[in-house]
Chains A and B, each alone.
Chain A
Amino acid sequence: MASRFLKSTLAAAMLSAVAMPAFAVDLQFYFPVSVGGKAADTIQSLTEDYVASHEDVNIDAIYAGSYTDALTKAMTAARGGNAPQLSVLLSTDMFTLIDQDLIEPFDDFVTDEEGKEWFGSFYPAFMMNSQTGGKTWGIPFQRSTPVMYWNKEAFKEAGLDPDKAPATWEEMVDYAHKLTKKDDSGNVTQWGLRIPLDGFPYWLFQGLSTPAGAILANADGNKTDFANPKVVEALQFLVDMAKKEKVIEDGVTSWSATPKAFFERQSAMIWTTTGNLTNIRTNAPFDFGVGFLPKHERYGAPTGGGNFVLFKDASEDQKKAAVNFVKWISAPEQAAKWSIATGYVAPSPAAWETEAMKAYAKDVPQAAVARDQLEYAVAELSTYENQKVTNFLNDAIHAALAGEKSPKEALEEAQKKAERVLKNYR
C-alpha cells in the first residue's frame, strides 16, 4: 500500500514538473520570522507583487521558523543537494556560511559600478556584518539595533525632565537611582533600569563595550578582543549597577518579559531592540521616549538582524534572477513598506526619503532614533564558529553577573578559549 502511495506521489510530482512553463525560472527563498505582527504576510505579498510584474520568474517564499531553525533548514537542504537559491539569515552567520562553502558573494552578478552603487546605498553600519575580504555576502533586509525606552510619567514623578534621556553612563546611573522606588519594607517596586541578558547577552553588552571604546571582533572574523581593558571596564560597570548601585535587578533578567516589565512599571528605563517599537507603542499605558544608548567614551551600539544571502548550488539563470529579486526587494519603496509593517530599521537612507517612510517618521518620530543612532553603530559580534565563540563571551558575562568570577578573570578566560578556536582561521 505504501509503495502504491509512493508511486502515485512520484507520478504527481513528475506531472507537475512537466506542467511548468519551460522558460520561467523557479526560485525558492527561506525567511525566518522573529517579530510579531503580519511579518510573514508582508513578505508573501511583496513576493507576489514581484512575480506579478515579472513573468519569467516563479518565487516560492517559504516560512522557515526562527533564525536558528532557518539556518538549520537551509544548511540541511543544502547538504541534501536541495538548497534554496535565497534565504534571509542572521547577518552574524556570514562566516559560518562562508566556512561551509554554501554561499556566494553578490559581486559577481553586478558590474563594478552597479555594485558600488547598490552596496553603497545602505547604511555603512549594516554593511559591516555583510562584507568581508572585499566581497559582499549579504544584503541588509530585516535589520535592527538596540535603543533605550523610558517611561515619561516615571521621569516626572522622580523630578526628571521627561523629554530628556540620560546621555552618559554617569547620568544613566544617576537617573536610575532617582527612578528606583522601594516600598516600606524595602522591596524594590520599580527598578531604574533593565538590561535583559538571558538569551544572547553579548548583544546588549555590545551596547556597553562599544561606548567604552572597544570593538569585540575584527572584520575578518578570526580574532576577538574580549580581554581588552575597555571591555573589562564595561562589564565591571554592568556588574556594579547590579551589585553596588543596586539600580538594576540582580541576576539575569529575561528578554521576552522586558516589554511587559516596562508596561507594568516594574522598570522605568529598558534596553531592547527597536523591533519592539510597535509592541510598546500599542501596549504602553503611558507616554514613553526612545533614545540612544548612553555614551561613555563615545556613542555606540551593535546592529542586529537578518540579511539576504545567495546560495551557491543553483544555475546561473537562477542566481541572476535571485539577485534581481533581492535588488528589487531591497529598493527604497519595498524596504519602506517592510520597515513600516514590522518595525525593522529601513536599511538605506533612500528608503527614509520615500513618501511612505516620511509620513511614518512624522507619525512615529521615535522610529527615527534608531536610524540616527546608526551613525555610531558597529558590527554585531560575528566570527568563524560563531555560536561557540559568542558563547564564550555569554558565559563570561553570566559568570561575572553571578559573582562567580571577576569581570577581568571571566573575560580573559573567554578570550583564551576564543583564541584556541580562531587561530585555525588565520
Chain B
Amino acid sequence: MTAQDTSLAARLDRVLMTFGAWLLALLWILPLAYAVWTAFHPSAYETNFTLTAPLTLENFPKAWVQAPFARYFLNTMILVAMTLSAQLVLSTFAAYAFARLKFPGKTILFTLVLLQLMVTPDILLVKNYETMGTLGLVDSILAIGLPYFASGFCIFLLRQTFMTIPKELDDAARIEGEGLIGTLWRVYIPLAKPTYLAFGLVSVSAHWNDFLWPLIVTNSVETRPLTVGLSVFSMTESGVEWSVINAATLMTSGPLLVGFLLFQRQFVQSFMRAGIK
C-alpha cells in the first residue's frame, strides 16, 4: 500500500466520521427543533414548514395558565435538590465503607446494594406507597424523593472511583493527623469530583422527568412536580394541540437545557473521566 492510499483512506475515514457525527446530531436535535418550531408558530403551521410563517408567543401564556406551573417549578426544584443532596451524603459514606473499610458481611451487603440496580422502581410502586402511608408521608415532596435517597447506582459509582484513589494518599492524610471524616473531605471527595458531577446530572434529569410515582403519591398542587402539570396536555380523547403542548414542554425542560448548555464541557469531561460513556 502506498503512502497516498493511506492518506486517502484516512481522509475518507474522517469524512465518514464527520458525516456520521452530523447525522446523529441532526437526529438528536430534530425533536427539539420541531418543538421550537411549533411553540413559536400558530397552530396552523404545525405541519406546514413555510419560512415566512408568522411568529407568535401566544402559545406560552396559553400553556402557562392551564396549570399552576410556578408552584410546580418550585416543587420540582425542591425535589431534585433534596434528593440529590441526600443521595450524595448517604452514598459518599456508604461508598467509602465499601471501598476502604473492613467489616464482616461486606461482600454480601455490597451485592445487596447492587441488586437494587436490577429492580425497576415501577415494580415497587405499591410497596413504596404502603411505606409512605405508614410513615404518614403521602402527599408530601419528601415522599417523592425518599425511596431514592439510598441510591445503589451512586454508591456503586463512588465506590469504584474511591478504589482507584491510591491508598498512599489515604495513609499520608492519616499520618498528618486527619480523622476518617477529614480524609474523606480532603482526599476522596475532591478527587471524585467528576463522578459527583456525572451522577448529579443523571439524578437531576431522572427526578426532573419522573412522572408516575409523583402522580401516585401526591394529591395537591403544593406537592406536585412539573411533569404532573405537563400531563394535563395529553388529551387522548380529543386530539393534541402540538403548539401548546410543545410550548409547555420547552417551558418545563428549559432550565435543564440551559443548564446542560452552560455546563456542557464539564459534563462531557466528567463522563469521560468517570468512565460512563
Q: Which of A6, A13, A28, A36 contacts B238 (CB 8 A)?
A: A36
- Asked whether B236 is an interface residue with its Cβ less than 8 Å from the other chain, the reply is yes
Total interface residues on A, using CB and 8 Å? 46
Say yes or no: A276 contacts B238, CB within 8 Å: yes
Task: From A95-103, A107-115, A257-265, A353-361, give the one contacting chain B.
Answer: A257-265
Known: A64-B215, A76-B125. A10 touches B136 (CB 8 A): yes
Say yes or no: B237 contacts A35, CB within 8 Å: yes
Say yes or no: A260 contacts B142, CB within 8 Å: no
Task: From B19-27, B153-161, B164-172, B227-235, give the one contacting chain A.
Answer: B227-235
Say yes or no: B136 contacts A255, CB within 8 Å: no
Say yes or no: B219 contacts A62, CB within 8 Å: yes
Say yes or no: A66 contacts B130, CB within 8 Å: no
- Asked whether A337 is an interface residue with its Cβ less than 8 Å from the other chain, the reply is no
Q: Residues of A contacting B240 with CB < 8 Å?
A: 256
State which residues 305-346 of A face B: CB under 8 Å: 305, 343
Say yes or no: A33 contacts B219, CB within 8 Å: no
- Asked whether B239 is an interface residue with its Cβ less than 8 Å from the other chain, the reply is yes
- Asked whether A419 is an interface residue with its Cβ less than 8 Å from the other chain, the reply is no
Closest A residue, CB atoms, query B215: A65
- Asked whether B268 is an interface residue with its Cβ less than 8 Å from the other chain, the reply is no
Closest A residue, CB atoms, query B149: A2
CA distance A5 to B133 in the complex (A): 17
Say yes or no: B236 contacts A199, CB within 8 Å: yes
- Asked whether B183 is an interface residue with its Cβ less than 8 Å from the other chain, the reply is no
State which residues 35-56 of B face A: CB under 8 Å: 43, 46-47
Q: Residues of B contacting A21 with CB < 8 Å?
A: none
CA distance A258 to B235 in the complex (A): 13
Q: Residues of B contacting A76 with CB < 8 Å?
A: 125-126, 129, 216
Closest B residue, CB atoms, query A41: B66
Q: Which of B136, B212, B232 contacts A72 (CB 8 A)?
A: B212
Say yes or no: A34 contacts B215, CB within 8 Å: no
- Asked whether A144 is an interface residue with its Cβ less than 8 Å from the other chain, the reply is yes
Say yes or no: B237 contacts A276, CB within 8 Å: yes
- Asked whether A273 is an interface residue with its Cβ less than 8 Å from the other chain, the reply is yes
- Asked whether A228 is an interface residue with its Cβ less than 8 Å from the other chain, the reply is no
Q: Which of B129, B232, B238 contacts A80 (CB 8 A)?
A: B129
Say yes or no: A5 contacts B142, CB within 8 Å: yes
CA distance A278 to B240 in the complex (A): 13
Say yes or no: A258 contacts B239, CB within 8 Å: yes
- Asked whether A79 is an interface residue with its Cβ less than 8 Å from the other chain, the reply is yes
- Asked whether A50 is an interface residue with its Cβ less than 8 Å from the other chain, the reply is no
> Separation in Å of the B150 CB from the closest CB of chain A?
11
Say yes or no: A256 contacts B129, CB within 8 Å: no
CA distance A204 to B119 in the complex (A): 38
Say yes or no: B239 contacts A79, CB within 8 Å: no
CA distance A184 to B219 in the complex (A): 57
- Asked whether B209 is an interface residue with its Cβ less than 8 Å from the other chain, the reply is no
CA distance A82 to B143 in the complex (A): 15
- Asked whether B13 is an interface residue with its Cβ less than 8 Å from the other chain, the reply is no
Q: Residues of A contacting B232 with CB < 8 Å?
A: 33, 40, 63
CA distance A71 to B26 in the complex (A): 38
Q: Residues of A contacting B135 with CB < 8 Å?
A: 6, 10
Closest A residue, CB atoms, query B213: A76
Say yes or no: B237 contacts A273, CB within 8 Å: yes
CA distance A257 to B136 in the complex (A): 44
Known: A5-B142, A65-B231. A279 touches B238 (CB 8 A): yes
CA distance A255 to B228 in the complex (A): 23
Say yes or no: B241 contacts A36, CB within 8 Å: yes
Say yes or no: A77 contacts B216, CB within 8 Å: yes
- Asked whether A275 is an interface residue with its Cβ less than 8 Å from the other chain, the reply is yes
Q: Residues of B contacting A60 with CB < 8 Å?
A: 219-220
State which residues 153-184 of A face B: CB under 8 Å: none
- Asked whether A69 is an interface residue with its Cβ less than 8 Å from the other chain, the reply is yes
Q: Residues of B contacting A243 with CB < 8 Å?
A: none
Question: Taking each of A34, A63, A199, A257, which has the highest tally of chain B beta carbons within 10 Å of its own beta carbon?
Answer: A63
> Separation in Å of the B31 CB from the closest CB of chain A?
16
Mark each residue of chain A from 31 to 57: 1 if its CB lies under 8 Å from any CB of chain B, else 0.
Answer: 001111000100000000000000000
- Asked whether A81 is an interface residue with its Cβ less than 8 Å from the other chain, the reply is yes
- Asked whether B197 is an interface residue with its Cβ less than 8 Å from the other chain, the reply is no
Q: Residues of A contacting B47 with CB < 8 Å?
A: 260, 264
- Asked whether A387 is an interface residue with its Cβ less than 8 Å from the other chain, the reply is no
Question: Taking each of B133, B231, B238, which has the highest tally of chain A beta carbons within 10 Å of its own beta carbon?
Answer: B238
Say yes or no: B133 contacts A69, CB within 8 Å: no
Say yes or no: A79 contacts B130, CB within 8 Å: yes
State which residues 148-195 of B face A: CB under 8 Å: 149
CA distance A9 to B220 in the complex (A): 16
